[in-house]
Amino acid sequence: MHFECKKCWSLDMHRAVAGKLTGPITKWLVLAAWLLIVAVASGFAMKLTDVQNNEASSWLPDTAESTKALAKLAPFQDQNDIPTIVVYHRASGLTAADFSAIADQANRLGDINGVVPGTNGRPTVAFPTDVASGQQAGLVSSDGTVATTALTFNFGADGWNKLPDVADKMRAIATIDGVDVHLAGPGGQAADAAEVFGGIDGTLLFSALAVVIVILLFTYRSPVLWILPIFSAVVSLQTAEAIIYFLAKYADLTVNGQSQAILSVLVIGAGTDYALLLVARYREELRRHENRHEAMAFALHRAAPAIIASASTVAIGMLVLLFAQMNSTAGLGPVAAIGIVVTLVVMLTLLPALLVIFGRWIFWPARPSYGSAEPTSTGFWAKVGNRIAPKPRRVWTFTAGVLAVACLGLLALNTGNIPSDEQYTKTVDSTTGQQMLIDHGLVDNSTPLQVVANDSETDAVVAAIKTVPGLGTVNTAIPAVGGVKYIEIEQGLDPATAKAADQVRALRAAVHKVPGADALVGGSAAIYLDTSKASQRDNLVIIPLILLVVLMILLVLLRAVLSPVILVLTVVLSFGAALGIATLISRYIYGFDMADSSFPLFVFVFLVALGIDYNIFLMTRVREETATKGTRTGSLVALASTGGVITSAGLVLAGTFAVLGTLPLVFLAELATAVALGVLIDTLIVRSVLVTAINLDLGGVIWWPSKLDRSEAVEPTPKEPAREIV
């Protein structure tokens, strides 16, 4: 086809795209369609917290021993039972009046709807008025300063979501002048968790939006343009949450407060990133085309492939999490992938329609008029490229060395189950109550170790249990059901601690040796141990799978082998440096001694899946420029052209993830620090310095085995004008 004919055909194609999405009429249809969708979706999005499952046992795989134990425990206990302990404390010692009030309150607490009846229809351990008998029963501390009342609630499958309201009712009843009252046990912990994650719909979302608005105001230098990306991001989030609500309610998708929090910042951050790229390209095309609909057609045609490739990488990378054993981790995969796909669709349909509807004035006060001059390669990133170009090998080896040194921080990384009293960045009621029980020698009967075995081998199993040091009373009084015996053991430890895990390992080793017993060990401590084991397995399996998926996508996108391998290695180096530095910050600045077992995997997923985005934006432009200028000059042009907008995108993503730290959960504070730091390292150092220096050093070799640049080396021409955006 003749060149002029090709040009005409291309222009016709661009106009066809504009007619379908952003034409004078269809732009209004697109807007109307999305307004209708979000109007319907918003109602269901608000219900997403109602279908959350924050119960740790529901996150485990079916293969875990504690999960198998739960199945055999069904005749002896309802898995929807929620043990809750009310802890009373008076530093000077509880008085007779206090004990009388506690006994009266126990009866009133038993009248709360949902309490499982105990003896004579009252709470399972109605408080005794005699202090001595209370101490003997483990209800009053030996010094007489702490007393407890225990209840069990059952609200059915969705009962955990009702605990915040129940906790308020309990606190309204359990009040005595001069006595501190706390809610402990699984019920108290779940109520605190619900209160913490209640910030998802309020503080977290508005904080993330505020951060993005500030960055967009600085980037666009327009008091109104930021409204369109923000509106589009909110539409994306509402639509995605509605879809996820239906999947959680009717398709057994595991959604918890943690995954919903991550969804919010991921959609807002990624959506704003895509908006930055599209808006910048549209602004460039407005200077070349008088008709704004035609300008948007060109902008979509040129920017959309990179945006689609980036979103696909993130979405597919997230779906790899489906191979995780942990249900909570596997559930995050589709949750995040749905958020990314919906955001991609919104940013390539609704946002373009809004931009052409409002016209050039939305860029006020710096409106891009037709025929106005384009920015050239005299900007900051062009200067960075000019500094790298003379000695690129020295630059990339030094940069890689610094990042490698930062990776040494990983030696301080300690992963496992975070103890209950260290899971929050602030003091919460349940941990205070739990610590009070421990400090005053009271056993928390709400989280015992549980053994199920064949009834015929009960005596042998009990004998094996008693060989394990440090365990409390062994209760065998519960009658066997269907040939299965249930044995309950007091542990007296925080079930999330390493000591509790060691006891579970020792107990399992002992009872598994009993022939014919088919003994299984469950309970909270066993669930925590199995959670840690599943997370460690996922780290070893999922991380290589994600690397393989990302590499395959880059091979297809860049149609080369060497450059995708180099990009993956640089992102891995960036991940190691970010995690190393974040570990040192968490330990020596925040004072967190431990990270959750799943922490490395979560950081890796977000940094690799999102970090590769910026390399895609850069390298697709390098490939485009290489065709006419050669790899070395093309790399400088690409850096100068993409630098500003990608840096802004990185700041947006880092800022939104940093907002996760506003939730007082240690895991999210550590995750926010590592991801925000990693994104900044990737955008400011890895993409701009390390990758560019490698490109300049190797030249056309990076496209091996492609013949894209097999010509004689083209010397860099850093003074050549460069367009502003991908």
Tell me, what's the pLDDT at 182? 92
DSSP structural state of residue 390:
T
Tell me, what's the pLDDT at 663? 76
Average pLDDT over residues 501-520: 93
Average pLDDT over residues 393-409: 93
Average pLDDT over residues 654-677: 84
Average pLDDT over residues 417-426: 80
Q: Which residue in the block uniquely carries the two structure tokens 């509106």?
A: 231
Average pLDDT over residues 198-212: 71
Tell me, what's the pLDDT at 404? 94
Q: Which residue in the block uniquely carries the two structure tokens 């890796």?
A: 604
* pLDDT at 713 exceeding the cut of 80: no
Tell me, what's the pLDDT at 518? 92
**d(C-alpha 587, C-alpha 54), whole Å:** 27
The CATH number of 429-529 is which of 3.30.70.260, 3.10.20.30, 3.40.50.2300, 3.10.129.10? Answer: 3.30.70.260
User: Would you kindly state where each structural domain of the chain is located, as residue ranges?
Assistant: 3-50+202-417+531-703, 65-197, 429-529
More confident residue, 686 or 130: 686
More confident residue, 521 or 380: 521
Tell me, what's the pLDDT at 602? 86
From residue 545, alpha-carbon distances to 61, 89, 321, 363, 549 in Å are 19, 52, 9, 43, 6
Q: Give the confidence band of 444 by pLDDT, cuts at 50, 70, 90.
A: low
From residue 573, alpha-carbon distances to 292, 381, 560, 566 in Å are 43, 22, 21, 11
For the stretch 19-60, pLDDT in tens is: 466 777 888 888 999 999 999 988 888 888 777 665 655 667
Average pLDDT over residues 394-415: 92
Predicted structure pTM score = 0.79
**d(C-alpha 556, C-alpha 306), whole Å:** 13
Tell me, what's the pLDDT at 36? 94
For the stretch 537-583, pLDDT in tens is: 888 898 888 888 888 888 888 888 998 999 889 988 999 999 999 99
More confident residue, 529 or 381: 529
Domain at 3-50+202-417+531-703, CATH homologous superfamily: Multidrug efflux transporter AcrB transmembrane domain (1.20.1640.10)
Answer whether 3-50+202-417+531-703 and 429-529 agree in fold: no
* pLDDT at 711 exceeding the cut of 60: no
* pLDDT at 598 exceeding the cut of 50: yes
Per-residue three-class SS string for 485-508? EEEEECCCCCCCCHHHHHHHHHHH
For the stretch 256-267, pLDDT in tens is: 777 887 788 888
Question: Quick one: tokens of 292?
Answer: 């704004």
Tell me, what's the pLDDT at 340? 93
Say how many C-beta atoms besides its own lie within 10 A of residue 364's C-beta. Answer: 11
Tell me, what's the pLDDT at 119? 38
Q: Give the confidence band of 324 by pLDDT, cuts at 50, 70, 90.
A: confident
Judged by DSSP in three states, 55 sits in coil
Q: Which residue in the block uniquely carries the two structure tokens 């390669």?
A: 377
More confident residue, 403 or 549: 403
Tell me, what's the pLDDT at 128? 53
**d(C-alpha 33, C-alpha 408), whole Å:** 52
**d(C-alpha 181, C-alpha 98), whole Å:** 12
Q: Give 151-166 as a DSSP string.
A: EEEE--TTGGGGHHHH
More confident residue, 127 or 624: 624
Tell me, what's the pLDDT at 403? 94
Tell me, what's the pLDDT at 714? 45
* pLDDT at 719 exceeding the cut of 50: no
Tell me, what's the pLDDT at 55? 60
For the stretch 476-490, pLDDT in tens is: 888 888 899 999 998
Q: Give the confidence band of 130 by pLDDT, cuts at 50, 70, 90.
A: low
Indicate the range of 83-87, 359-363, 500-504 predicted with least confidence.
359-363
Tell me, what's the pLDDT at 651? 83
Winning range, highest mean pLDDT, from 316-320, 427-431, 510-514, 553-557: 510-514
**d(C-alpha 291, C-alpha 606), whole Å:** 39
* pLDDT at 82 exceeding the cut of 80: yes
Average pLDDT over residues 228-233: 90
Mean pLDDT of the chain: 81
Question: Rg of the chain's alpha carbons, rounded to an integer?
Answer: 30
**d(C-alpha 519, C-alpha 511), whole Å:** 6
Residue type, 195: E
Tell me: cis bond preceding 718? Omega within 30 of 0 counts.
Answer: no
**d(C-alpha 719, C-alpha 699), whole Å:** 18
